Structure 1
Amino acid sequence: MTNKKQLIIEKALHLFASKGFESTSIQEITDACGISKGSFYLSFKSKDELLVSIFEYFFSKISKRFTELDTIQRVSPKEKFHQLLVIQFEEIERHADFILMQIREQTNPLNKDMTELLASMQEHHHTILHKIFVDTYGKDVQPYVADLIVMVKGLIHGYIEIILTHRQQLNTNELSVFIMERIDDLVLSLLSKQPQPFLSLSMLDKSLLQNAAHSSPRQDLLQEVLDCRNSTIDNDILVTLDVIAEELKKDKPRTPVIKGMLANLVEDKDMLALQQKLMTYVTNQTD
């Protein structure tokens, strides 16, 4: 990653966390970086591409810490598991404002790149957990790995919610020790009682693939509107696209409102393709 790209990511991260993704303009990002819009577009095609890069940036940082931890020979598998939990909680606390922004604006659709990235991150996380469960508890735990992954993720997410929504400062080391003890209890119970596993790893993989493939025509169209919004500086077009985007975010968009906005796009040749797609969309709506 170039120094300029990293600068843009770090400045945008701060702005998104404080103002929100939708409320932050590319102009504000370039002003914070001390660069021109042209320089920004040499690094990122749009604000959405920048958001994907921010997630990739997070992912690479966490993955690097996991990889470094895994290469330490003198650390036991259980201690690696404990440190893996600590790393997750530390990164959540470090970027709490940005994560909360994403939760607040989760009505926005995920574009294809973001969906594929999140699915890849999930798959990577599952692979790490799978390995560390077997390394820590032995091959006998293999049949229950899928169930353990789901249960442990649920346990972790409960504490993440406390960290984020209540902004509660928790001792990440003590919390990770406590969770490890609960995981020990889970594994001991499963190995002693040997119930029939409820999930399989193939079921988890199938779920990830389905999530990655899921996208509605309205979401795809909204994503195009947002992409076009990020690439124009015409104030009239910006207002028009904002109105259309707000309608497309609704469960039942008001097609007359969208149709009424389309005339504003006709004279801009860069918007003609989008205008035609929007016209097709409103024409095909029956509700």
Structure 2
Amino acid sequence: MEQKSIYIIEQSIKLFAKKGFSSTSVQEIASACGISKGAFYLHFKSKDALLLDIFNYYYQRIQTRIDEIQKLDADDRTKFMKQLQVTFEELADHREFIIMQIREQAIPFNENIEQFLTQMRVNSYLFYKSHLENIYHKRVDEIVWEVSLILQGMFKGYMDLIIIEGADLNLEALSEAMLRRTDYIVEGFEKSGDQPVITGGTMRQLLPVNFSGEEKEQLLASLEELANEGDQDIKDTVHVLTEEMKRDQPRPAILKGMLANLEGLSGFKEAIARIKQFYQL
């Protein structure tokens, strides 16, 4: 995203937090940015499109910090704890904007925003599941979805205190405590022999993703095979695409961009359709 668009986004966030989304006009945004109303529309098709890009902007900020932590020379538990902490930090830093969204219920209902929010929700499920598997391994084979949902519920409960009630909590200590609570939950399942209510089968019925990972591996293998038959530009595009698909939380904008580069190329039609369905693009 170019710097001018980022500047408009940042100024808009301040206005929306102060006045609300519905009460802020495009002209007010343009004036705050020192540009004309026409110049605004060179960057964003509408105020709704701007809001979608704001969501993307927040998501990318969090994802960048999560990716940086994932590269650290640390164990899986430490990485996950730090990733929870930076997610708390980013959301707390934009408390006013989030409160505005809650109070106004300002998110417009359109297909692009609905798809984005669906993808973020699915990414969140996969993020927690993946890290729990990395930390607890076979101990959570049968209970990973149940534990994941309980952990996400804890996160939301603490986040509500921070955002809505304005609680000033030690976010590092909070993230560490969440993982200790998760230890107790896993141990409780082991000691009691209790069976999970939510299983992999439940989640496959509810959500539009094959969580076993088998379909994703098949897609990656198919893309790499197709790339070997193409020129260097195709190889480079497929490399970026497959690396994005391997991330804990793939970025929809990157996936869409790479798929657009491959559309119309011989042999890629089926793979593109499967990827779009898999990621709900």
How big is the shift at 1:109?
4.2
Equivalent in the alignment of 1:151 = 150
State the shift of 1:96 in Å. 0.4
Structure 1 residues 64 and 201: alpha-carbon distance in aligned structure 2, compared to 1, 3 A threshold: farther
> What's the CA shift for 1:208?
4.4
Residue 66 (structure 1) shift: 1.3
How far apart are the structure 2 equivalents of 1:205 and 1:54? 30
Q: Which amino acid letter does the alignment assign opposite residue 47 of structure 1?
A: K
Spell out the pairing of 1:24-63 with structure 2 (5 A cutoff). Answer: 24-63=24-63
Question: 1:107 deviation in Å?
Answer: 6.3
Deviation (angstroms), 1:22: 0.2
Relative to 1, partners in 2 of residues 1:201 and 1:48: Cα closer, same or farther, differing over 3 Å?
A: farther
Q: Is the CA contact (8 Å cut-off) linking 2:21 and 2:106 kept in structure 1? A: no
Q: How does 1:111-122 map to 2 (within 5 A)?
A: 111-122=110-121
Map of 1:12 onto structure 2: 12
Structure 2 counterpart of 1:51, one-letter code: L
Deviations 1:230-282 (A, max 9, x none): xxxxxxxxxxxxxxxxxxxxxxxxxxxxxxxxxxxxxxxxxxxxxxxxxxxxx
Distance in 2 between residues matched to 1:204 and 1:28, nearest whole Å:
44
User: Whole-Å Cα distance in 2 between the matches of residues 2 and 196 of structure 1?
Assistant: 50
CA distance in 1, matches of 2:106, 2:11: 24
Secondary structure at the aligned position of 1:143 is classed as coil
Residues 36-90 of structure 1, C-alpha deviations (whole Å, 9 max, x = no match): 1111111111100100000001111111111121122x21111112112101210
CA offsets, 1:176-208, max 9 Å, x none?
Answer: 122111111011111332322211235335444
Deviation at 1:118, TM superposition (A): 1.0
Contact 1:82 1:176 in 2 (8 A): yes
1:97 corresponds in structure 2 to 96
Superposed displacement of residue 120, structure 1:
0.9
Structure with higher Rg: it is 1
Determine the C-alpha separation between the residues in 2 that align with 1:132 and 1:156.
15
Distance (whole Å) between structure 2 residues aligned to residue 129 and residue 22 of structure 1 = 34
| Separation in 1, partners of 2:52, 2:190 | 41
Question: How far is 1:110 from its partner?
Answer: 2.5
- Alignment RMSD, CA only? 1.7
Task: Give per-residue Cα distances to partners, 1:123-163, cap 9 Å, x unaligned.
Answer: 11222211110111112202111111211111111111111
Cα gap change, 1:158 to 1:49, in 2 (>3 Å): same
Aligned length: 209
1:28 aligned partner, one-letter code: E
Counterpart residue number, 1:199: 198
Q: 1:201 to 1:100 in 2, by over 3 A?
A: farther
Distance 1:194 1:60 in 2: 40
After superposition, the Cα gap between the structure-2 partners of 1:208 and 1:105, relative to the gap in structure 1 and judged at 3 Å, is farther
Looking at structure 2, the residues matched to 97 and 206 of structure 1 have their Cα atoms a distance apart, in angstroms, of 36
Following TM superposition, by how much is the alpha carbon of 1:122 offset from its aligned partner in structure 2, in angstroms? 1.4
Equivalent in the alignment of 1:223? none
Q: Distance in 1 between matches of 2:5 and 2:59?
A: 16
Residue identity in the other structure for 2:41 = Y
Equivalent pair of 2:16/2:100 in contact (CA under 8 Å): yes
CA distance in structure 2 between the aligned counterparts of 1:80 and 1:17, rounded to whole angstroms = 32
Which residue number in structure 2 is paired with residue 76 of structure 1? 75
Query: 1:139 aligned to 2:138?
Result: yes
Cα 1:46–1:156 shift into 2, 3 Å: same
For the 8 Å contact 1:119–1:209, the answer to whether it is kept is: no
1:149 counterpart letter in structure 2: S
Tell me if structure 2 keeps the 8 A contact 1:141–1:191: no
| Structure 2 residues without counterparts, runs of 5 or longer | 210-281
1:167 Cα deviation from its structure 2 partner: 0.9
Q: TM-score scaled to structure 1, two decimals?
A: 0.69
